[in-house]
Structure 1
Amino acid sequence: MLDQGAPSRQGSATDPSSPGLGARLMRRKPVEQLVAEGGQGEGGSLRRSLGLWQLTMISIGATLGTGIFVVLGEAVPKAGPAVTLSFVIAGLTALFSALSYAELAGTIPVAGSSYSYAYATMGELIAWVCGWCLVLEYGVSVAAVAVGWGEYLNELLDGTVGVTIPDALSAPPGEGGLLNLPALIVVLLAMAFLLGGARESARANTVMVAVKIAALVLFCAIGVQGFRSGNYDHFMPLGMAGVSAAGATLFFSYIGFDAASTAGEEAKDAQRDLPRAIMLSLVVVTALYVLVAAVAVGAKPWREFTDSEAALAQIMREVTGQSFWGTLLAFCAVVAIASVVLTVLYGQTRILFAMSRDGLVPKVFSRVHPKSGAPRANTLIVSLFCGVLAAAVPLGRLADATSIGTLFAFALVNVAVVVLRRTRPDMPRTFRVPLSPILPVVGFALCVWMMGSLSAVTWVVFGVWMAVGLVFYFGYGHRRSRLAPPAPRAPSEK
């Protein structure tokens, strides 16, 4: 018999008393346990130092810039002047999911974002899939945005000192280069800020967000002078299919509004401030996106747009006939896109922090430095991985791969809201999705629809990524999960 003075231990999978595989895959982590463990990592804890303003700036910083400064030139040829409608569709898709994020962020204020929400509502396997999608969303989008930063850096150097970085050092293999050095540099700069701690990173981000908003307002003020109504003739030349395809690509530009939810364990009043920060950031970003896209298409015929990542600077130069304004915008874009890299990289490290604390990824990702309160080893590993990815992979493929991972994670968040409403209806909520479950269901359907608009190649990449993730989960995370039953005692212990 077992020692009655020791805690009971469950057996292995072959033990009749052990839960079956299905039960182990569906094991959930109680909300109370998630919240109680908040902030605690290996050797230290995260620090609660962020208020509503900083959280809102993190979400705006992670979102604003990617679609306008980087992907606009790629989306316009797909939709024509109706690209403004594509932004609206992508924004509405994000809005429905943002409502769900706002409710869950206020109810479960922890660092894992949608990964933690799925763990509390749908079980460990679904949580792992969601977390693996977030690794794709955040990690790969850091690299994709860093590539666009390099394009604007070249525009800035060309306009100020008349030189550009040679293709061999500014383009990845497959696009005429050997290494995208600027993309690698901006990731390493963001890493340096993050190693200093959340508060210091938030201060730097706030300054950069102010610069990027000023830059987009300046673009609208100057670009409207070249506005030609004739550019809007044949508003939807490629039909609704083109609008949908552009919307799926542009959804990449809304990635990041959920970044505030990854700061749940570093917010001073997470339950109050997280929902507000998420909704405020999405409203500001959507309004600016639609306005800038409308001015851009009005100032330049849609057929003349190319897939250059520096489209806005080129429009400024063409409208004014002077290089100064394009150069100024390029400078602002360099600052603006750097803030996206900083805040999205921050989100990635906090998601891995939560997954590591649960035992699903190695413990090194949840080690907290006692002085800075930052997960330094985590930050170093993630930054180096993203930097190498940015230096070696073309932007277009990265953007689409990021979009599908994001849409999948967002779809799960909408499901999580409905599940938690049914399983824990009396739980206190600082924000509630109106008309639930209708709006979460609509949000889920929109995510699935936009995923269907992505190319077959993107789905293949996503399938391979999921397969790799499942191999890792069953080979490592499933066995090392903190919710896994303890190993059976040796005979000598009986």
Structure 2
Amino acid sequence: MKKTEGGPLPGVAAADDTTAAGGTAPRAEKGARLGLPQATALVVGNIVGTGIFLLPASLAAFGTVSILAFGIVTLGALALAVVFGRLGRRIPASGGPYAYAREGFGEFPGFLNAWSFWITAWAGNAGIAFAWVGYVVYFADAAFGLDWSSVPAQVVIGLTGLWIPALINLAGVTKMGAFQLVTTILKFAPLIFVAIVGLFFVQADNFGPFNATDGSWIGALSVAAALVLFAYSGVESASIAAEKVADPERNIGRASVYGTLACAVLYMLGTVAVFGTVPHDKLVDSTAPFADAINAMFGGSAWGVVMAAFAIISGIGALNGWTLLVAEMPMAAARDGLFPKMFTRMRGGNVPWVGIVVGTALTSVTFVLAFAAENAFNTILLLAAFTTVVPYLFSAAAQLFWLVTGERQVGRKKGLGWNLTLAVVALLFSFWMIFGAGGDAVFQGTLMLLAGIPVYIWVKASRGEYGPRETTRMTGELR
């Protein structure tokens, strides 16, 4: 019988006060790496998907309190980005939040984090695809007069949009990185245009009430913030793909902060511009708010068609990056014996093809089922927000743990107070996001987390590992 311990990750050496933890990422495969531009593009590309293109319509239902929510969540996201950068220096291991939870708290918490993030990745992709389809339908109608609004047509479009990025990822890291960089550049241009030019067309009457709900503004703020969090999910992307990032000890932190800062500016200005150019009553029911905003600025529908085209490109880019993460997380956990071994199977040396195929298949099922739910986009976003926050919370807790105990220190012990403050802010922010996700999302997400326990038992039993047990020779009792 094997006995397992919650020791250091294989291949990651413990750090002292002057040496960076781990050196290079464990089990790094030979081949191409993502440099700082590509790693930053991965972060930006995963943060900026189609969610932001539809999010203003969802937030409008809560009122302009959503703008305040955006500001608060932006500060929390930046704190998380810095924390992930610090953690990436301590443990430059593939899997990011999973690796931090496992190293800090043991195997089972590590497994729960990997399982939670895996749910986030494939369920969140369904949300991205759902919003992406709306822009494809808008574009087809406005540009070519095609009516693709029927449910069967939308299902076919969405499934096509999910499997194209899967094929790109299966083609290799180099092609995936190049595609991510190109789509990131293309998606930024129109969003920046609306975010800056739109400010000159803002009219105060368009903003609507501060609280458009029947409840308190505090409740509206919390739920709106949880929705906004989904728009920032992806801040951890570079840390999860650490094995494929060049010089991960430096570039994970820089890519995380640079990418999040760029998205923060874009998000805040873009949201204000859309709220101020599209009348509130129209925005609430919009399926393409950025297209409606640019049409409101210049009249007609031609500009909206252009915006819809860029939203389509943005969605494909986001799905491309998240498809990589769908495979990277279970691969890292499987290598440590916490996920089924099949997720370690590679193609071409560094393409985890099983994770890509299985993850995309689960996303496809979730996407199809979403059409049977009312307000499916918000439902998926809130569920994904909860399962996203669980790894965020454990990552912030791991950083706090290592700062307080003095373990896994990197560099000199300077800035301890600042790092402690950031870790506490990230931890409290994560708790607030769990509250904001709402009872239904927390209940459903908890059930999905608990569903992973039988998987954990099966994987451990199949390896003959039954956990640490202590016996006493004097009494022969198990304790």
Q: Shared fold (TM-score greater than 0.5)?
A: yes
CA contact (8 A) 1:215 1:332 kept: yes
The separation in 2 between residues aligned to 1:323 and 1:395, in whole angstroms, is 25
Q: 1:302 pairs with 280, 283, 288, which one?
A: 280
1:412 matches 2:394? yes
Shift of 1:57: 0.3
Deviation sequence 1:10-52 (CA, Å, 0-9, x none): x47xxxxx6xxxxx6x7233475475894538xxx36351111
Partner of residue 364, structure 2:
387
Give the distance between the partners of 1:285 and 1:57, measured in 2 at CA.
Answer: 11
CA deviations on 1:429-485 (whole Å, 9 max, x unpaired) are 599776232321221112111211222211221121022012221232466388967
2:123 is aligned, of 140, 154, 163, to 140
Q: Say whether residues 1:28 and 2:7 are aligned partners.
A: yes
CA contact (8 A) 1:118 1:412 kept: yes
Does the alignment pair 1:40 with 2:40?
Answer: no
Q: Hey, what does 2:409 align to over in structure 1? A: 427
Give the aligned partner of residue 43 of structure 2: 59
| Unpaired stretches in structure 1, ≥5 consecutive residues | 1-10, 13-17, 19-23, 172-179, 487-494
| Correspondence for 2:80 | 97
> Alignment partner for residue 261 of structure 1, among 229, 234, 239?
239
| 1:490 aligned partner | none
Checking the alignment, whether the CA contact within 8 Å between 2:56 and 2:274 is kept in structure 1 is no
2:145 and 2:50 map into 1 onto residues whose CA distance is 26
Q: Which secondary structure does the structure 2 equivalent of 1:89 belong to?
A: helix
Query: 1:90–1:250: 8 Å Cα contact kept in structure 2?
Result: yes
Cα distance in 2, alignment partners of residues 483 and 59 from structure 1: 38
- Structure 1 residues 317-373: Cα deviation after superposition (integer angstroms, max 9, x where no partner): 23322111000000000001111111111112111110110111111111122x352
Q: Name 1:88's counterpart in structure 2.
A: 71
Q: Do 1:245 and 1:453's aligned partners in 2 also have CA atoms closer than 8 Å?
A: yes
Shift of the 136–86 alpha-carbon distance from structure 1 to 2, 3 Å rule, reads same
Change (3 A) 1:137 1:478: farther
- Aligned AA (1:375): P
Give the TM-score normalised by the residue count of structure 1: 0.85
- Which moved further from structure 2: 227-236 or 281-290? 227-236
Secondary structure in structure 1 of the residue aligned to 2:419: coil
* Structure 2: runs of 5+ lacking an equivalent: 14-21, 371-375, 470-479
Q: Tell me the secondary structure at the aligned position of residue 245 of structure 2.
A: coil
Counterpart CA distance in 2 for 1:416 and 1:483 is 25
Matched letter for residue 335 of structure 1: I
* Cα distance change of structure 1 residues 52 and 339 upon mapping to structure 2, 3 Å threshold: same
Q: Across the two proteins, how many residue pairs are aligned to each other? A: 452
CA contact (8 A) 2:137 2:149 kept: no
Counterpart Cα distance in 1 of 2:173 and 2:183: 15
What secondary structure sits across from 1:283 in the alignment?
A: helix
Q: Is 1:344 the equivalent of 2:334?
A: no
Check conservation: 2:25, 2:248, Cα contact below 8 A. Answer: no
CA distance in 1, matches of 2:54, 2:113: 26
Q: Find 2:426's aligned residue among 443, 447, 462.
A: 443
Question: What is the CA–CA distance in structure 1 between the aligned matches of 2:262 and 2:464, rounded to whole Å?
Answer: 39
Within 5 Å, give how 1:214-233 maps onto structure 2.
214-232=189-207
Look up the SS of the partner of 1:322 in the other structure. Answer: coil
TM-score normalised to structure 2 length: 0.88
Alignment-derived partner of residue 102 in structure 2: 119
Preserved contact between residue 66 and residue 252 of structure 1 (Cα < 8 Å): no
Pair 268,483 (structure 1): closer, same or farther in 2 beyond 3 Å = farther
* Partners of 2:130 and 2:367 within 8 A in 1: yes
3-state SS of the aligned residue for 2:64? helix
Structure 1 residues 110 and 481: alpha-carbon distance in aligned structure 2, compared to 1, 3 A threshold: farther
User: Taking structure 1 as reference, are residues 147 and 477 closer, same or farther at Cα in structure 2, changes over 3 Å only?
Assistant: farther
Partner Cα distance (2:180, 2:416) in 1: 29
For 2:25 and 2:80, the matched residues in 1 are separated by 24
Matched, 1:375 2:348: no
| Match of residue 70, structure 1, among 31, 38, 54 | 54
Q: Secondary structure at the match of 2:109?
A: helix
Q: Taking structure 1 as reference, are residues 96 and 224 closer, same or farther at Cα in structure 2, changes over 3 Å only?
A: closer
* Paired position in structure 1 for 2:342: 364
Cα deviation, residue 225, structure 1: 4.8
Map 1:170-209 to 2 at 5 A.
170-171=153-154, 180-209=155-184
How far residue 245 of structure 1 moved from its aligned partner, in angstroms, is 1.5
